Chain A
Amino acid sequence: GEDVEQSLFLSVREGDSSVINCTYTDSSSTYLYWYKQEPGAGLQLLTYIFSNMDMKQDQRLTVLLNKKDKHLSLRIADTQTGDSAIYFCAERRGRGSTLGRLYFGRGTQLTVWP
């Protein structure tokens, strides 16, 4: 399809791991991003991964990329109540794409219960 797809909701207990999944559209996408949006605020860049990588780890965040299936995931270890937010997946498409054009999913609302 043409849309970047994400589950709309995810609930986890504090201290557990969270895994947010995303399916993107273009096998030639060069960069894939995860953004976090807290209530009433703009989007904050969390991390990104270049398409020639399978995994990227940054403290509690682990990004996994499966290019064959066009699947991207974000794992948050030891999830805290402060991680509650909407998480957006975005792809920068490759060949023929408009310079700088990112395509966003609809966002996954992560709720962390104490």
Chain B
Amino acid sequence: SQTIHQWPATLVQPVGSPLSLECTVEGTSNPNLYWYRQAAGRGLQLLFYSVGIGQISSEVPQNLSASRPQDRQFILSSKKLLLSDSGFYLCAWSVILGQAKQETQYFGPGTRLLVL
């Protein structure tokens, strides 16, 4: 069965420090991978998605970047954190199935980031 891991679970970082959040998926090959941020107000904002190794699409210009060095690894980074980067970061994976192209996204447990 497929599982998705995120770490760390919680992170407190000072403003201006770098960031690296990691997401890994097990039990599937060539998944689509996603990074979302959930800030106060609960809405989910799609930050990045990737359809393959080294292929990253950015949805919103910002202080963050993403990389996919391996098929099942997705990394969210920043060189210098801002206060506004605080939030709950969720990684998700999906695969497309069948002629009907059914696709469901499955989410990881999330990383709570507090920038002080």
Q: Is the CB of A43 within 8 A of B107?
A: yes
8 A Cβ contacts from B67-102 to A? 90, 92, 94, 96, 100-102
The total of Cβ contacts below 8 Å across the A-B interface reads 59
Give the distance in Å from the alpha carbon of A88 to the alpha carbon of B49 in the complex: 20
The stretch of A10-18, A54-62, A76-84, A98-106 in contact with B is A98-106
User: Does any Cβ of B come within 8 Å of A42's Cβ?
Assistant: yes
The answer on a CB contact under 8 Å between B44 and A48 is no
Enumerate chain B residues within 8 angstroms of A99, measured Cβ to Cβ: 32, 51, 96
Are A42 and B43 neighbours in the complex by a CB distance under 8 Å? no
The interface size bin for chain A is 20 to 34
A99 CA to B50 CA, complexed, in Å: 10
B96 CB contacts on chain A under 8 angstroms? 99-100
Please measure, in the bound complex, the distance between the C-alpha atom of A110 and the C-alpha atom of B104, giving whole angstroms. Answer: 23
B94 — nearest CB in chain A belongs to which residue?
A100
The answer, among B100, B103, B112, for a CB contact under 8 Å with A100, is B103
The interface bits of chain B over 42-54 (1 if a CB of A lies within 8 angstroms of the residue's CB, else 0) are 1110100101000
A88–B41 Cα distance when bound, in Å, is 13
Decide if B43 touches A104 in the complex (CB within 8 Å).
yes
Shortest A26–chain B CB gap in Å is 15
Q: How close is A52's CB to chain B, nearest CB, in angstroms?
A: 9
Minimal beta-carbon separation of B104 from chain A (angstroms): 6
Are B112's CB and A106's CB within 8 A?
no
Q: Does B17 contact A (CB under 8 A)?
A: no
Q: Which residue on chain B has the smallest CB distance to residue A48?
A: B104
In-complex Cβ contact of B49 among A31, A40, A50, A100 (8 A)? A100
Pick the contact of A40: B51, B101, B106, B112 (CB < 8 A): B112
List the B side residues contacting A40 at CB < 8 Å: 110, 112
Contact of B110 with A100 in the complex, beta carbons under 8 Å: no
- Contacting residues, chain A, for B104 (C-beta < 8 A): 31, 33, 45, 48
Cβ-closest 4 pairs across A and B? A42-B107, A43-B107, A104-B44, A106-B43
